[in-house]
Amino acid sequence: MDVDLNNWYRCKIDKKELKKLSEKSDWQGFKHMGIYFALILIFGYLSYYTWGSWWSLLFLFIYGNIWACSAANWHETGHQTAFRSKFWNNFFYYISSFMCDFEPIRWRYSHYHHHTYTIFNDPVDFEIHVKKPTDLVIFFSHFIPFSGFAYLKYSLQWETIKHALGITTDVMKVCIPENQRSKCRWSARSHVFIWITTILISVYFQTWFPVFMILLPNFYGKTLIMLLGLTQHAGLQEDIKDHRLTTRSVYLNPIFSFLYWHMEYHVEHHIYPQVPSYNLKKLHILVKDQMPKPRKGLLGAYKEIVPGLIKQAKNPNYKIPVTIPS
């Protein structure tokens, strides 16, 4: 299934250059995944080794934030651009989907929908976290560990449980073809089965460690991925087919850029989603004269986002202004 970008703004770029940038690499995929899962193992072990001490809180926080950044791995493999091999893209897609609590069938189709109708209200874009009028309490709670339990009814986990129970949700009606809905439900059931099994193992061995390692990282470790992810579209224009106005690029330090798998060049990604993340910086250099200037770091992005959302809480029609090169 291809993303439909007909009639969307496309920046000017030489076709040969674009073709070269769109080339995929198994080496780049394995390099990233190797380092990522090495970090998971290192901080998972340190959490285990210090379990029961105050040090474990530090290592759990780091482990949880790295685990939650599996959303970046899910995203790249979902686009089939992490690896040249379709097999390895799918292999890591299903692993990453479980890690970030994204039921893979639902999120494959809703992400195609997101790229086709980025920040549209009709049809609704289900991947936009900040809705209008802005609820500032909910917005700031995104960065606080365990705050997700206060909104469990609206969580990804609760949606997965509903799908597992056979309930047809709004996102299923809008995004998922009828012939794929049974797969979605059975996939959701497999996630719930692993969750229940993890709880039973913890009960049997009388330790919370498996729950903290597998079930809870997206609750206590979501701070970084939410700080990164909410820079993408928060406060920007809706219902317009120009990603320069609906999407935001940000310059990040090398550590954050790695964990985010270079999705900070998000305007470029939306305009040319076939370009692998490891080539987005090169794409950015080629087209930056046609793009709004990326914000400098997370601080630079939130200096724009927070005042804009405060204004949108009072006036839902307000849009953060974006300067486009003439």
pLDDT tens-digit profile of 3-52? 555 678 999 999 999 999 999 999 999 999 999 999 999 999 999 999 99
- Residue 326 covered by a domain: no
- Residue 202 covered by a domain: yes
Please tell me the total count of domains within the chain: 1
Structure confidence at residue 1 (pLDDT) = 45
Q: Can you give the residue range of the structural domain that contains 124?
A: 15-314
Structure confidence at residue 262 (pLDDT) = 97
Query: What's the rounded Cα separation, in Å, for the pair 47 and 33?
Result: 21
For 121, other C-beta atoms within 10 Å of its C-beta total 12
- Residue 193 covered by a domain: yes
pLDDT in tens, the chain (326 residues): 455 556 789 999 999 999 999 999 999 999 999 999 999 999 999 999 999 999 999 999 999 999 999 999 999 999 999 999 999 999 999 999 999 999 999 999 999 999 999 999 888 999 988 888 888 999 999 999 999 999 888 899 999 999 999 999 999 999 999 999 999 999 999 999 999 999 999 999 999 999 999 999 999 999 999 999 999 999 999 999 999 999 999 999 999 999 999 999 999 999 999 999 999 999 999 999 999 999 999 999 999 999 999 999 999 999 999 999 87
Residue range 120-160, pLDDT digits in tens = 988 899 998 888 888 899 999 999 999 999 988 889 999 99
- Residue 10 covered by a domain: no
Both structure tokens of 46:
């340190």
- Residue 131 covered by a domain: yes
- Residue 82 covered by a domain: yes
Find out whether 59 and 212 touch, Cβ atoms under 8 Å.
Answer: no
pTM: 0.94
- Residue 8 covered by a domain: no
CA gyration radius, the chain: 20
- Residue 7 covered by a domain: no
